[in-house]
Amino acid sequence: MTVQKGDGMNTGEELIQFIKKSPTAFHAAETARQTLEAAGFSGLREGSSWENLAPGGYYVTRNSSSLIAFRIPEGGANGFQLGAAHSDSPTFRVKAKAEWESPDGYTRLNVEPYGGGIFGSWVDRPLSVAGRLVVRTEFGIRSQLVNVDRDLLMIPQMAIHMNREVNKGYAWNAQTDMAPVLGSRKAAGTFRCQIAEAAGVQAQDILSMDLFLYCRTPGAIWGADGEFVSAPRLDDLQCAFALLHGFLQAEQPKKIPVYALFDNEEVGSLTKQGADSTFLEDVLRRLAGDKLPRMLANSFLISADNAHAVHPAHPEVSDPLNRVYMNEGIVIKFNGNQKYTTDGISEALFRLMCERAGVACQTYTNRSDMAGGSTLGNISNGHISVNAADIGLAQLAMHSCYETAGVKDTEDLIHVMKEFYNGGWEEIQAGEYTLL
């Protein structure tokens, strides 16, 4: 794909297709992997030697749900240009003993929340399951992605006649309210077989399953001028998509460009494949060796995760001054308690990169009396200490199973990341704006 300025509608459609192919973090990493393969990148294994890598593009995955890609430039490099996003979104994980046969005539799935989702957004929508299987083969065990690509499940809510107070607020119970209906009592005992059929394996060969619910509602471009895009998992696949294509469109710079896609951001990143793991540090150390401290001192990280746009019905929940709007610029994120990494230096550098790319930017902070979440930048900086900026795209309904953002913003972030990966920030430091 080549995204050009003024091609916003095509960019939105490409984003929707990327999201459709990525119902889980496993699939998001696989979609990114396939895109990289098509661009000529070669896969590496963490357990293999990486000695004397020739100039060119490479990628490596961990847990099949996180991915790091990089280019080795001709003539060596003195630093890294790092961009990071995350592959996971709030959802519900299917429990190990999944089928819940109700005495009232239904077969339901036993699920538990993953991340801080908006429960009410999941009801009365067609849902399905996707994820990863580990299956037995004659040669050992094999990891395999699975997606039951049809409308399979529903979480029905009670009629207003049975809950007259529902419009005054309802407290959803994760155990009783959110278990989706699979079918009638006749469906009991069929779930594992349906998963096996979708994966093309025998049910008895499935040893374990990492399965999650996902929303089947298709993405849509809408608005008076087609300016908005709504879809599941915009947080954070919109940034993951834009960073990937900015990375691929960039030319060969003097530094090593790196694209990192981390799983488990929504649950704190404390996994072997999360931003708080050694994954990024391990990869960079293998590329830099004993030069790593010096190269990190010459590096920059852009951590990309979406931000809250001003809500049309509740503008009062936004900061009175540092509030952001869809399609009005890339969001630079700040937090007094360092939940975001942006400081004066990184803000200045990122603003100048936006200026060079011809893209607007805007500033975001939470209200001082409302706590926000952390993201990838400060977590990653606990392992690799570099100048870093936390940025994102403005969106509505964050952590709903169906979110809304701006079409133009996706396009703008691609152009900024292309400028970044082309060495834009290095040229800024080497020129008029040299850091002293």
Sorted by where each begins, the domain ranges of the chain are 8-89+232-430, 91-215
Which two structure tokens, joined as six digits, stand for 150?
């049809």
The 3-class secondary structure across 251-309, one letter per residue, is: CCCCCEEEEEEECCHHHCCCCCCCCCCCHHHHHHHHHHHHHHHHHHHCCEEEEECCEEE
Task: Give the pLDDT score at 336.
Answer: 87
Using alpha carbons only, what angle is made at residue 407 by residues 405 and 412, rounded to the nearest 5 degrees? 110
Amino acid at 80: F
Q: Write down the CATH number for the domain with range 91-215.
A: 2.30.250.10
What is the arithmetic mean of pLDDT over 235-244?
97
Q: Which CATH number fits domain 8-89+232-430: 3.30.310.50, 3.40.630.10, 3.40.50.300, 3.40.50.1100?
A: 3.40.630.10
Task: Give the pLDDT score at 431.
Answer: 58
What is the arithmetic mean of pLDDT over 78-103?
94
pLDDT cut 90: percent of the chain above it: 85
Mean pLDDT score of the chain, rounded to an integer? 93
The rounded distance, in Å, linking the Cα atoms of 405 and 80 is 30
What is the arithmetic mean of pLDDT over 246-251?
94
Strand partners, 94: 111
Q: Which of 28, 72, 38 lies closest to 260, judged by CA?
A: 28
Would you say residue 424 has pLDDT above 70?
A: no
Q: pTM value?
A: 0.94
Tell me the range of 4-18, 80-94, 156-170 where mean pLDDT is highest.
80-94
The conformation of residue 223, written as its DSSP 8-state character, comes to: S
Q: Using pLDDT thresholds of 50, 70 and 90, give the confidence band for residue 390.
A: very high
- Cβ proximity of 265 and 61 under 8 Å: no
Task: Give the pLDDT score at 2.
Answer: 42
Higher pLDDT, 397 or 374: 397
- CA–CA distances in Å: residue 66 to residues 27, 61, 223, 261: 10, 6, 34, 5
Q: Using pLDDT thresholds of 50, 70 and 90, give the confidence band for residue 3.
A: very low
Contacts of residue 364, Cβ cutoff 8 Å, sequence gap at least 6: 307, 308, 319, 322, 323, 324, 331, 332, 333, 334, 392, 394
Task: Give the pLDDT score at 430.
Answer: 58
Write the DSSP assignment of 110-174 as a string of letters. EEEEESS--GGGGTTS-EEEEEEEEEEETTEEEEEEEE--S--BB-PPPPTTT-TTGGG-----T
pLDDT tens per residue across span 326-351: 999 999 999 988 889 999 999 999 99
Would you say residue 370 has pLDDT above 60?
A: yes
Q: Which of 173-187, 310-324, 374-388 has the lowest mean pLDDT?
A: 374-388
The rounded distance, in Å, linking the Cα atoms of 114 and 264 is 9
Task: Give the pLDDT score at 191.
Answer: 96
Task: Give the pLDDT score at 378.
Answer: 86
Q: Using pLDDT thresholds of 50, 70 and 90, give the confidence band for residue 429.
A: low
Using alpha carbons only, what angle is made at residue 300 by residues 237 and 18, rounded to the nearest 5 degrees? 15
pLDDT tens per residue across span 190-239: 999 999 999 999 999 999 999 999 999 999 999 999 999 999 999 999 99
- CA–CA distances in Å: residue 125 to residues 38, 156, 175, 214, 240: 34, 8, 18, 10, 25
Q: Using pLDDT thresholds of 50, 70 and 90, give the confidence band for residue 76.
A: confident
pLDDT tens per residue across span 395-422: 999 999 999 999 999 999 999 999 999 8
Task: Give the pLDDT score at 1.
Answer: 42
Would you say residue 253 has pLDDT above 80?
A: no
Q: Using pLDDT thresholds of 50, 70 and 90, give the confidence band for residue 8.
A: very low
Give the rounded distance of the alpha carbon of 223 from its chain centre.
25
Q: Using pLDDT thresholds of 50, 70 and 90, give the confidence band for residue 433.
A: low
Task: Give the pLDDT score at 7.
Answer: 46
Would you say residue 189 has pLDDT above 90?
A: yes
- Cβ proximity of 210 and 195 under 8 Å: no
Task: Give the pLDDT score at 374.
Answer: 72
Amino acid at 244: L
What is the arithmetic mean of pLDDT over 125-138?
97
Q: Which of 66-80, 81-95, 213-227 has the lowest mean pLDDT?
A: 66-80
Higher pLDDT, 103 or 147: 147
